[in-house]
Structures are given as structure tokens and as C-alpha cells.
Chain A
Amino acid sequence: MANEKKFFDRVKQNQFYKKWFKSAFTYVTGAVLLSVLQVATLASTGNPWGVSGVFANWGAWIYEAFGGSVDKWYYFSSEGAQNVLNAGIMNHPGSWRNIGIIFGALLATLLASQFKIKKIKNKKQVAAAILGGLLMGYGARIAYGCNIGALYSGISSLSLSGWVFLVGIFSGAVVGSKILVKFFM
């Protein structure tokens, strides 16, 4: 027990531990890593990086698990979308990536000893989270992308649509911040 404690005390003081696991990466480090990994994503899966579209598929799979069918839904009506759904979650690169993001984030916070289950402060916070989540999720689907699929992947593929999305998301963020400060704080 005493030896273990000594070991972890030493790890805490280690400069490489502090640099790589404890302190947050700089924006530049993060940007370089994201760029390299999104090139790897495009090369290996044939599709640019996206996050929120995956959740629509998860929703469809859950709905199908309960006996529902999304064949007639406009969103899933294309042959491509149907093929992805029929292939299942195990053969869906985006699902694996999102699961990886969730477990990676957990691992990062555990390695930095910063894991904490946060309290819910008040009902306003709950309302803001649900309302914000619904708006973001719905908005991302009718825009065919979120800040990753439409903005990040759009701009990095030299597509004009990414820049149009940037204008939209920036104005939305300004309005959203005002609403947050005014009604939910």
C-alpha cells in the first residue's frame, strides 16, 4: 500500500505525465492531431469525418430493434442510407469512431485524475440542456451535418457549403449565448 502510494506520488511529479496526461493540449497540438486523424479517416473509410449523422443511425437501429421501420422515411430513403442501416452497427465506421470518442474522453479524464460526476444545479439547467440538445440535433440533421460534418469536413474539403455553414453557426451561437445569459443563468 505504502509503495503504491509512493509510486503514484512519483508519477504525479513526472514531467512527461504532467505534459501529456495532466495538462490540456494546446489549441495548436489539438488542431494538428485533428487534421492528421481526419485525413486518416477519409483515407480509410472513404467518407469525411462526421459525428452527429451517426446518432441518426443509432436512433434508426434502436427504433428497428423495437419493431419499427424507417424504410419510408425521407432521410433514410436513399439506397446508400438503407445499405448502411442493413449492414448494422458493427460494420459502421462512424459508430466505432463515436464510441471511441466517448471512451477516449473517459480515459483522458481518468488519466488526468479529473473524473467527476457533476451535480445538476437546478431545473433551468435541465431545461436549457434538453432544449439546446434538441435544437442542435434537429438542426444538424436538416442541415445534413453538424460543426464537424458540415463545418470542419466541409471547409477542409474546400467546399463552399462549409463557409456558408460557418456564417449560420456563428450567428446561431451569438443568439444562443444571449438567450442563455438572459433566461438560463
Chain B
Amino acid sequence: MAKEIIIDSLGEACPVPLVKAQNAIKEMEIGDVLIVQIDHSCAMKNLPEWARKDGHNVEVEEVDDGEWEVIIEKAK
């Protein structure tokens, strides 16, 4: 059963969300989903960039004004 992990990174500036996501994904199994909640727009760029380069499936959703969820499915 795939797990879902949520990181609350609201109020945190780069590179904190990215580092937290990188640490979290190491502990996850393939197929698990990581949701990073962010409100720092530069994380909207560097998080998906890193995750795609690493070969995971990524989606970004704008949940509110200036608030996003980066959804990463661990693929390898």
C-alpha cells in the first residue's frame, strides 16, 4: 500500500523546502507520494526541477493565493 507523506513547508524560504523534500524522499518506497506545501515561489521552481531530474513524477497545484502543493511520486 503506497504511503502519502506531507511536509508543511509554509513560511519557509529556499533552500529549506528542497532540502526537506530531498531528505524525506530517501526514506520512501517506490510508489509513495510526497506532498510539499510551499508558499515561497522559488521553491515552485527548484522542487519540480530537482524531482524531475531525479526521475520522479511531479505535479504542482496552486491551492490558494501564493500557496502551492508540489506532489511528487517516487518513481525509482
Question: Which residues of A are interface residues toward B (Cβ below 8 A)?
Answer: 24, 109, 113-116, 118-121, 125, 177, 180-181, 185
Q: How far is the CA of A120 from the CA of B39 in the complex (A)?
A: 12
B19 contacts A120, C-beta separation under 8 Å = no
Q: For residue B12, which residues in chain A have a CB less than 8 angstroms away from its CB?
A: 121, 125
Main secondary structure of the interface of B (DSSP, over half): loop
Which residues of B line the A interface, CB within 8 A?
Answer: 10-12, 15-16, 19-20, 39-41, 44-45, 64-67
Closest to A22 in B: B62
Cβ of B19 and Cβ of A121 under 8 Å apart? no
The A contact surface, by secondary structure, is loop
Query: Is B65's CB under 8 angstroms from A185's CB?
Result: no
Report the Cα distance A109→B40, complex, angstroms.
11
Q: Shortest CB–CB separation between residue A42 and chain B, in angstroms?
A: 28
Chain A residue at smallest Cβ distance from B12: A121
Which of A24, A113, A119, A180 is in CB contact (< 8 Å) with B10?
A119
Can you give 8 A-B contacts (C-beta < 8 A)?
A113-B66, A114-B65, A114-B66, A116-B39, A118-B11, A121-B11, A121-B12, A125-B11
